């Protein structure tokens, strides 16, 4: 399929604002050559709409459930999760990211047209960006906190200190995410397309050096969203796994098996973060290098980057669906809290009260087991 210069420019304009870092696309090839696209624009639009809708529905349901169970758990005087506060804030951040997706889907379905005005353009992007950064930062905080909890298990003074630090750390994460999101939000404006009546929500950088600004935003997003947090997550979870393995030699076979399961869960934490965010940041880095002229930008590479940037964005947003599963649903104590929140509360209406009483331990019995054998993850 061949596009004229105006059609191709319109295409890039329509898609530019969907980049997390607000990259406007690879315009360098437009000025010199007219590239033949190797993809169907309509199919890509429909694919992204479906993926965003799926992520929105699953992410909203899963994170809302996590929040609801955590609120119910707060009424219990025995908190069985050391990182309960981080998990709650993580669920809030992922929930807010998912809440912005319907707006992007509506605009995407209109081929990039933004019908909501400039204020909504800035506020929606700010909400999206702040919560996206916060979600990543909270994952890094949890990896550090969990390692310290295991490494200094039994240190009452250290435990009390961490309880004081956690609220401060959460506040710091939100403030850091806000600061990281403000510069790009400042440049966002609603702009009428030069080829038609389409209104776009996209960044307008200073005319003197727009390409340098765009690349700078891309690289800053990669730095704050992947280069800095991923080593923290990987290193501290690796240290946590090593601490489990060292303590397994003098433990029973049952605890040995639980530690092996915990190590697999730790590996899943690292792999899922790398799998969700690694591809997007790799493509984003390749796009930045092509903008700087360090990588020759051919028509083939331009097509690949164009499709890859948007599909890997969808992949990265899947973390909003994976986080509730990894950090909540696979945890035995959380599953008990979930069962208690639903079944215990409504069992008298469904006739299950006696069955629950005979097949499940009481709150007091469960708390005693939890204290004697605290969960590793």
Those residues with Cβ within 8 angstroms of residue 142's Cβ, 6 or more apart along the chain or in another chain = 83, 86, 87, 90, 327
**CATH code for the domain of 24:** 1.20.1070.10
pLDDT of residue 249: 54
Domain membership of residue 348 (yes or no) is no
Please spell the DSSP secondary structure of 121-174, one letter per residue. HHHHHHHHHHHHHHHHHHHHHHHHHHHHHHHTTT-HHHHHHHHHHHHHHHHHHH
pLDDT of residue 121: 93
* Domain of residue 266, residue span: 5-330
Domain membership of residue 238 (yes or no) is yes
Highest-confidence segment of 9-23, 73-87, 312-326: 312-326
Separation of alpha carbons 211 and 27, rounded Å: 9
Query: What is the band of 295 on the pLDDT scale with cuts at 50, 70, 90?
Result: confident
Q: What number is the average pLDDT over the span 250-264?
A: 71
Those residues with Cβ within 8 angstroms of residue 59's Cβ, 6 or more apart along the chain or in another chain = 94, 95, 97, 98, 101, 317, 320, 321
Q: What number is the average pLDDT over the span 217-226?
A: 93
Separation of alpha carbons 187 and 209, rounded Å: 13
Domain membership of residue 263 (yes or no) is yes
pLDDT of residue 263: 84
- The answer on pLDDT for 117 being more than 60 is yes
Q: What number is the average pLDDT over the span 66-72?
A: 84
pLDDT of residue 72: 75
Domain membership of residue 111 (yes or no) is yes
Domain membership of residue 260 (yes or no) is yes
Tokens representing 234 are 């990987």
- The answer on pLDDT for 119 being more than 60 is yes
Residue pLDDT, tens place only, 154-180: 565 666 777 888 899 999 999 999 999
pLDDT of residue 39: 66
Q: Count how many domains the chain has.
A: 1
Domain membership of residue 358 (yes or no) is no
Highest-confidence segment of 57-61, 262-266, 349-353: 57-61
Separation of alpha carbons 331 and 73, rounded Å: 14
Percent of the chain residues past pLDDT 70, beyond the cut: 72
- The answer on pLDDT for 367 being more than 50 is no
pLDDT of residue 55: 96
Domain membership of residue 25 (yes or no) is yes
- The answer on pLDDT for 128 being more than 60 is yes
Please answer whether residues 375 and 332 qualify as being in contact, where contact means their C-beta atoms are separated by less than 8 angstroms.
yes
Domain membership of residue 337 (yes or no) is no
């Amino acid at each position: 399929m061949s596009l004229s210069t105006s059609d191709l420019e319109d295409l890039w304009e329509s898609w530019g604002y969907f980049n997390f870092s607000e990259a406007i696309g690879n315009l360098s090839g437009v000025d010199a050559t007219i590239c033949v696209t190797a993809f169907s624009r309509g199919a890509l639009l429909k694919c992204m709409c479906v993926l965003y809708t799926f992520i929105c529905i699953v992410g909203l349901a899963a994170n809302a459930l996590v929040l609801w169970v955590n609120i119910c758990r707060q009424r219990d005087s025995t908190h069985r999760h050391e990182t309960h506060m981080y998990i709650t804030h993580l669920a809030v951040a992922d929930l807010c990211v998912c809440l912005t997706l319907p707006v992007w889907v509506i605009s995407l379905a209109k081929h990039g047209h933004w019908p909501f005005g400039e204020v909504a353009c800035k506020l929606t992007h700010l909400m999206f960006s702040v919560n996206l950064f916060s979600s990543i930062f909270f994952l890094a905080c949890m990896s550090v906190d969990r390692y310290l909890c295991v490494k200094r298990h039994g240190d009452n003074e250290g435990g009390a200190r961490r309880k004081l630090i956690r609220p401060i750390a959460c506040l710091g994460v939100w403030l850091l995410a806000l600061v990281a999101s403000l510069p790009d939000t400042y440049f966002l404006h609603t702009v009428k397309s030069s080829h038609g009546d389409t209104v776009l929500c996209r960044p307008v950088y200073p005319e003197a050096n727009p390409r340098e600004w765009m690349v700078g935003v891309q690289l800053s997003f990669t730095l704050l969203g992947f280069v800095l947090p991923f080593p923290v997550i990987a290193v501290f979870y690796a240290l946590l796994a090593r601490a489990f393995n060292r303590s397994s030699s003098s433990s029973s076979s049952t605890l040995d098996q639980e530690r092996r399961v915990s190590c697999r869960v730790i590996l899943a934490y690292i792999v899922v973060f790398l799998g969700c965010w690694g591809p997007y940041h790799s493509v984003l880095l390749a796009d930045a290098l092509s903008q700087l002229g360090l990588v020759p930008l051919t028509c083939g590479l331009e097509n690949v980057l164009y499709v890859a940037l948007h599909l890997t964005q969808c992949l990265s947003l899947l973390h909003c669906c994976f986080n509730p599963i990894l950090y909540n649903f696979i945890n035995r104590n959380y599953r008990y809290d979930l069962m208690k929140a639903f079944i215990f509360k409504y069992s008298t209406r469904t006739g299950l009260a006696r069955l629950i009483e005979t097949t499940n331990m009481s709150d007091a019995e469960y708390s005693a087991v939890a204290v004697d054998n605290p969960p590793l993850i």
